[in-house]
Structure 1
């Protein structure tokens, strides 16, 4: 099972004039050309499940169309997409920001799905998608350390409430280092698909490990990579996951 996690920054690009003629001006530009490049990149790896962070679900930047839907249609996936902000968030009332979402795309059958929202932080969405033998969570954690720790506590509760192996992917914003996740990993028993701590941000000169794929012990990683591609300020994470022989014999 190949899993790809990618913060695509709403397909607004990175560097090469992103901050011209004024800082972050690229955030407001049309995304069509860059989205086509992202579609070609994702298609070249043919993942079974895709976790997309920072997806435009219908602002003027994307021509009022949903980027997750466009990627799904181009590559033959089904998709789940939802705004990152809670129902009571003022951000839902702000144009452009109210179309900022996360998504999960897959070619496999989803048994059921739920959208959870953390109680703290601006970025609050957790996408839960249950498959026959595994449950996926897609997350984008807060920029504030205290909020992240409280969000991880809630994510721990979600993981413990499942009765299947778990995979979590997303942008954890661990600006204080990967040790922010030590208690969470110990409490859940999850493992990182990137044990060497390879960085993924910023994509032009990676030196931060803030994007993660975490998985239950019933799964093992046969291949992990962070491709050198600069279509966003984040590099994508790709891993091949297989069930362990001991789990297969029990199942």
Structure 2
């Protein structure tokens, strides 16, 4: 099962987020992240969030790729936090948030959810990782069995894997 959420067309090709799953989802949607005002010199690209609800067990996945501009990251955080507040099932939040663990902007995720990785292992850029900007967070009711950042070049980021025990 696969889903692509297009955010923009760049160089004639669609750009956005994808969700690939072994299991079918019950519901899935693309949620646009509001663009910041265009009154600054910051470069940014429109971005989106994927929200998918699965059943057996019932849980929700939110996946995104935040931009580099600070104003865009603020909008993305607000939108994502609003979605988290609406979710009534166990939750997995994952993506490239382009925010390091020491940045105050990402603190609300650490306060509301469990980080699947206790260590601050860098995963970007994949050739010589020096920054941690990719995450998998889970709601407190989900148990993280194991997690890993794989030393395999699949893109400009190292892949993240988490085995989770999601309550029935």
* Greater relative contact order (Cα < 8 A, sep 6+): 1
Structure 2 length-normalised TM: 0.85
> Any idea what SS the aligned residue of 1:196 has?
coil
* Counterpart-to-counterpart distance in 2, 1:206 and 1:216: 27
> Any idea what SS the aligned residue of 1:180 has?
helix
Q: Are 2:42 and 1:119 equivalent residues in the alignment? A: no
Q: Quick check: which has more Rg, 1 or 2?
A: 1
Q: Is the 8 A contact 2:101 2:133 kept in 1?
A: no
Q: Is the 8 A contact 1:178 1:210 kept in 2?
A: no
Alignment of 1:44-123 (within 5 A): 78-85=1-8, 92=9, 95-97=11-13, 99-120=14-35, 121-123=44-46
Alpha-carbon shift at residue 177 of structure 1 (Å): 3.9
> Any idea what SS the aligned residue of 2:130 has?
coil
* Counterpart-to-counterpart distance in 1, 2:155 and 2:50: 22
Number of aligned residue pairs: give it.
Answer: 158
* Counterpart-to-counterpart distance in 2, 1:184 and 1:228: 25
Q: Are 2:151 and 1:228 equivalent residues in the alignment? A: yes
Alpha-carbon shift at residue 110 of structure 1 (Å): 0.7
Pair 105,160 (structure 1): closer, same or farther in 2 beyond 3 Å: same
Structure 1 length-normalised TM: 0.59
Could you say which residue in structure 1 is the equivalent of 2:84? 159
Alpha-carbon shift at residue 84 of structure 1 (Å): 2.1
Alpha-carbon shift at residue 230 of structure 1 (Å): 2.0
* Gaps in structure 1 of 5+ consecutive residues: 1-77, 86-91
Structure with more strand by fraction: 2
Q: Is the 8 A contact 1:178 1:209 kept in 2?
A: no
Alpha-carbon shift at residue 195 of structure 1 (Å): 1.7
Pair 183,101 (structure 1): closer, same or farther in 2 beyond 3 Å: closer
Alpha-carbon shift at residue 232 of structure 1 (Å): 2.0
> Any idea what SS the aligned residue of 1:111 has?
strand
Alpha-carbon shift at residue 164 of structure 1 (Å): 0.5
* Gaps in structure 2 of 5+ consecutive residues: 36-43
Pair 110,103 (structure 1): closer, same or farther in 2 beyond 3 Å: same
Could you say which residue in structure 1 is the equivalent of 2:122? 199
Structure with more helix by fraction: 1
* Counterpart-to-counterpart distance in 2, 1:239 and 1:158: 22
* Counterpart-to-counterpart distance in 2, 1:170 and 1:151: 12
Alpha-carbon shift at residue 179 of structure 1 (Å): 4.3
* Counterpart-to-counterpart distance in 1, 2:160 and 2:130: 15
Alignment of 1:22-41 (within 5 A): none
